[in-house]
Amino acid sequence: MSDSEMFVQSLRNRIRAMNTIWERAIGDMTLEQVNHHERDGVLPIAFSFSHFMRAQDQSISAPFLQEPLLWVSGGWAEKIGRRRPRRRRVGARRGARLADGA
């Protein structure tokens, strides 16, 4: 196996592992639970999950696949009820919620 093949295999394994962790963490949660805002200073799980998925998309789609982001091409912002992202401080994202369109 070449170095580049080992790199790709390692990357696939890591992505699969992280996706499995997220699936186990939120797979049996309701939309209400994922969107729950405990208190000021604590972001909902929806924020962390969407941040992780977008970061993964940005890390794979363009650099490795030379394809547009799935977030854009799949219309995911609209599907989950999110507007176009703006650069804001994390505290301003307390209101991040997912819609039931996915």
72 domain-assigned: yes
101 domain-assigned: no
When pLDDT is averaged across residues 68-87 and rounded to a whole number, the result is 80
70 domain-assigned: yes
35 domain-assigned: yes
pLDDT interval class at 87 (50, 70, 90) = low
pTM for the full predicted model? 0.71
Please measure the distance between the N-terminal and C-terminal CA atoms of the chain and give it in whole angstroms.
38
Of the two residues 68 and 102, the one the predictor is more confident about is: 68
Does residue 2 have a pLDDT over 90? yes
Give residue 69's pLDDT.
93
69 domain-assigned: yes
Domain that holds residue 38: 3-95
- 12-62 residue pLDDT tens: 999 999 999 999 999 999 999 999 999 988 999 999 998 999 999 999 998
Give residue 77's pLDDT.
83
Task: Please state the domain count of the chain.
Answer: 1
81 domain-assigned: yes
Three-class SS of residue 25? helix
The one-letter amino acid at 35: N
Q: What DSSP string describes 36-68?
A: ---STT---HHHHHHHHHHHHHHHHHHHHH---
User: How far are the Cα atoms of 71, 80, 87 from residue 61, in angstroms, in the given order?
Assistant: 10, 20, 21
Other CB atoms closer than 10 Å to residue 97's CB: what's the count? 18
Element containing residue 17 per DSSP (H, E): helix 3-26
100 domain-assigned: no
When pLDDT is averaged across residues 57-76 and rounded to a whole number, the result is 91
22 domain-assigned: yes
